[in-house]
Amino acid sequence: MIETPYLLFLGDAPDQLSAKVAQGIKDWRPENAVGQIRMPGCGADLGLADMTLAQAQEAGAKTLVIGVANRGGIISAAWKEVLIQALEMGYDIASGLHNLLRDEGDLVAAAQTFGGTLHDVRVPTVGYPIATGVKRSGKRCLAVGTDCSVGKMYTALALDAAMRERGMKSTFRATGQTGILVTGHGVPLDAVIADFMAGSIEYLTPDNDDDHWDIIEGQGSLFHVSYSGVTMALIHGGQPDALILSHEPTREHMRGLPGYALPSLEAVRDMALTLARVANPDCQVVGISVNTQHLSEDEAKTYLADVEQRMGLPAVDPYRHGADRLVDALAAL
Give the C-alpha separation, 309 to 36, whole Å.
Answer: 41
Q: What is the pLDDT of residues 120-176, one digit of tens each?
A: 999 998 999 999 999 999 999 999 999 999 999 999 999 999 999 999 999 999 999
Using an 8 Å Cβ cutoff, are 141 and 244 in contact? yes
Residue 125 CB contacts under 8 Å (≥ 6 apart), including other chains:
none
Output the DSSP codes for 205-265: S----TTEEEEEPP-S-TT-TTTHHHHHHHHHHH--SEEEEEE-TT-SSBTTBTT-PPPPH
Q: What is the pLDDT of residue 17?
A: 87
Angle (nearest 5°) at CA 70 between 72 and 300? 130
pLDDT of 166-201, one tens digit each?
A: 999 999 999 999 999 998 899 999 999 999 999 999
Predicted confidence band of residue 72 (pLDDT cuts 50, 70, 90): low
141 beta partners = 215, 242
**Average pLDDT of every residue of the chain:** 96
- This prediction's pTM: 0.91
Mean per-residue pLDDT, 80-85:
96
Determine the average pLDDT of the residues in 14-38. Answer: 94
**Is residue 74 predicted with pLDDT exceeding 90?**
no
What is d(CA 158, CA 92) in angstroms, rounded to the nearest whole number? 30
The residue type found at 125 is T
